[in-house]
């Protein structure tokens, strides 16, 4: 049997919900059959979303994928290394469908981005893919976006035209 040198993209899904990122990767694999990925774990606290995730997504052996639970309590050392962090911080504080309280969200959801940064700073994945919601790019959240860009820059993920190589 010949061993393949093909790289498998290792993925961690934060704020996974029912696994929308996983569904997207499956669609990508349908279009590009040589594309290989493995979800090394996910983080989700909503009981019903977790049930759906576990019903819809299995590892290569047919087992449920490890849910590392509450991202605010997640120890990055407990998570296998991964190439890409996929997901988004909860959208309700920024979405036009939500209260649009941003970082002042009364449930604390508007500041959960810092946990993505904490995990990515420790794990150093090659890529971070974050969800965007309608309303996040409004003028109201400009300072929040700028703070997020600065956090990404500080850990080496964001460059703009003024950054040196």
Q: How distant is the alpha carbon of residue 98 from its chain centre? A: 20
Q: What are the pLDDT digits (tens) for 107-151?
A: 556 567 888 899 999 999 999 998 877 777 778 778 888 888 888
Whether residue 64 is predicted with pLDDT greater than 80 in this model: the reply is: yes
Give the residue extent of every domain in the chain: 9-154
Residue 57 burial class via C-beta count within 10 angstroms: exposed 0-12, middle 13-18, buried 19 and up = buried
Enter the pTM of the model: 0.85
Among 71, 91, 112, 151, which one carries the catalytic annotation?
91
120 is catalytic: no
Residue pair 33/7 in contact by the 8 Å Cβ criterion: no
> Of 40-44, 88-92, 104-108, 144-148, which one has max mean pLDDT?
40-44
Q: Which fold would CATH assign to domain 9-154?
A: Rossmann fold (3.40.50)
């Amino acid at each position: 049997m010949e061993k393949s040198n093909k790289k498998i993209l290792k993925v961690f899904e934060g704020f996974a919900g029912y696994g929308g990122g996983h569904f997207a990767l499956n669609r990508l694999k349908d279009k590009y059959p040589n594309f290989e990925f493995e979800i090394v774990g996910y983080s989700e606290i909503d009981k019903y979303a977790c049930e759906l995730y576990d019903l819809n997504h299995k590892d290569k052996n047919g087992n449920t994928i490890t849910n590392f639970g509450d991202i605010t309590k997640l120890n990055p050392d407990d998570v296998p290394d991964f190439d890409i962090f996929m997901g988004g911080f909860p959208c309700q504080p920024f979405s036009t469908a939500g209260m649009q309280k941003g970082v002042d969200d009364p449930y604390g959801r508007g500041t959960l981005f810092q946990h993505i940064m904490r995990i990515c700073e420790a794990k150093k994945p090659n890529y971070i893919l974050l969800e965007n919601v309608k309303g996040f790019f409004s003028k109201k959240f400009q300072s929040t976006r700028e703070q997020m860009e600065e956090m990404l820059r500080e850990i080496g993920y964001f460059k703009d035209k003024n950054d040196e190589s």
